[in-house]
Amino acid sequence: MAALLGSPTGRLREYRPVIALAAPIAGVQLAQVALTTVDLAMMGLLSVTAIAAGGLAILLYNQLRTMSVGMVTGIGNQIAGAVGRGEKRTGTDELDEQARVEIRELVRAGLFVATLVSLLAALILIGLGFALPLFGQRREVVEIARPMMIALAPGLIPMLWLNVLRQFTVGMRRPGSLLRVTLISIAVNALLDAAFIYGWLGLPKLGATGIGLATTLVQVFTLVALHLQIRRDAQLTGLLALDLWNFDRATVRRVVTMGTPIAFTYGNEAAITSIATVLMGIFGPELLAASNIVNQLAYIVYQLNIGLSQGSSILVSRSVGRGDRGDAGQIARRVLTVSVVAMTAFGLLYCLAPRAVVTPFLHGAGPEVVAAATGLLWFAIAHQYLKGAQNICVGLLRGLGDTKSSLRITLIGYWGVGIPVMLIAAYLLHWRGYGIWLGLCAGFGVTAVLLLRQFRADLHAE
């Protein structure tokens, strides 16, 4: 804490660039997650089984959403690099025409890749809905989860287009316009959720399926609203190219080459959580519901680390583009310090008021669900530190242009350590849900250590 707040004129000035860029990104991330958090809270109005099934549907949706977003995440870094090179050529903060052309080509290529990837992801999500019985899920859970997944699937298309525009604004270091748009979408999502649950506004009562449909409709609303916001920004509108059919093949290859390792890295991260959720479902709806709630709470806090990761990654990419790698180590130190301070604050909240944290998601739930959720909060505290640190390190490596190392290390940490520990602790040691969360923490912890070592090696290799 002293490292962050020690000197009002010195320390805070050092941290300002990281916080200024990371804060609006984290705000947008939190607002995006608020959509599914509202969905999960609304499911509590239906039943515990609805929480279990809806949480499973949302988790699998997030698995595919996360991998799809990974395919276009590198666009922000590539745009930041183009900005840095343009500034280096002009010797000012202004961009030359070469940089402007490169940025437009990156936007076109990103939209083209996003279209193909989102269509494939939508088909996979629908297919997973029909495959749920093969993974040991109970009939009552499948009957709710499957139609909800079908309703969520089309929303992946506008969601990924939205993320391309988002990476465009982040790479240009103008992410603030996103926050207002996403905050409005939360209110719209809550209204539509309630309308489909209770049949308001003449809409049919669709239950959990209606909640999935509401999320899809909100993705379309958010995309349109963000596009209108960008059009009003004089510094962005001249660089926004939506004619994706005029894509440059070489630029598409650049986007795919950088995005593929990121997608599988993100996919590995989401996969270990999805596997944990499927295993939780085997222990019954009550434990699955408790785990879904705690996982959603941890996911909310995790968005702060995603903001820090993306913000620091963009700053590193811009520095590299300008030919100045010396500041990357300082950026890493600052961003990890901010993360530790934030995670400590949330950890204290969980310790001091565990029931108050989980109760909003448990309308009418039995005492066994409440007890399981509050017990899992202790694992969530460690989970937040470890998962947050590894995500920040992935972003720092991406800023240096190294995405392949992150993929290799996550394969080791998640599949070589996390899942084996999960299975041993849950089944051989009979720790059930607690064993599964122990495996999650072990996987993220090993991954964080290995990623930090790789970042230091890459930094000193130049």
Q: Which residues contact 193 (CB under 8 A, 6 or more apart)?
A: 38, 39, 42, 210, 211, 214
CB 194 within 8 A of CB 210: no
- Which residue carries 């991954």 as its tokens? 447
Distance CA 96, CA 269 (A): 38
CB 320 within 8 A of CB 400: yes
CB 67 within 8 A of CB 267: yes
pLDDT at 456: 87
Percent of the chain with pLDDT over 90: 21
Higher pLDDT, 322 or 253: 253
**Cut 0.85: pTM above it:** no
What average pLDDT score do residues 33-44 get? 73
Q: Quick: pLDDT tens for 148-188.
A: 899 999 999 998 998 898 888 888 877 665 667 777 778 88
Q: One-letter amino acid identity for 408?
A: R
- Per-residue burial over 322-352, b = 16 or more CB atoms within 10 Å of its CB, e = otherwise: beeeeebeebbebbbbbbbebbeebbebbee
Rounded to the nearest 5 degrees, what angle is found at the Cα of 317, between the Cα atoms of 5 and 301? 50
Q: Quick: pLDDT tens for 347-399.
A: 899 888 888 887 776 665 667 777 788 888 888 899 999 999 999 999 999 88
DSSP state of 326: T
CB 51 within 8 A of CB 44: yes
Q: Which two tokens stand for residue 12?
A: 């805070």
Distance CA 20, CA 441 (A): 30
- Kindly indicate the confidence band of residue 1, based on its pLDDT and cuts at 50, 70 and 90: very low
Q: Quick: pLDDT tens for 390-438.
A: 999 999 998 888 888 999 999 999 999 999 999 999 888 888 888 999 9
Distance CA 12, CA 215 (A): 39
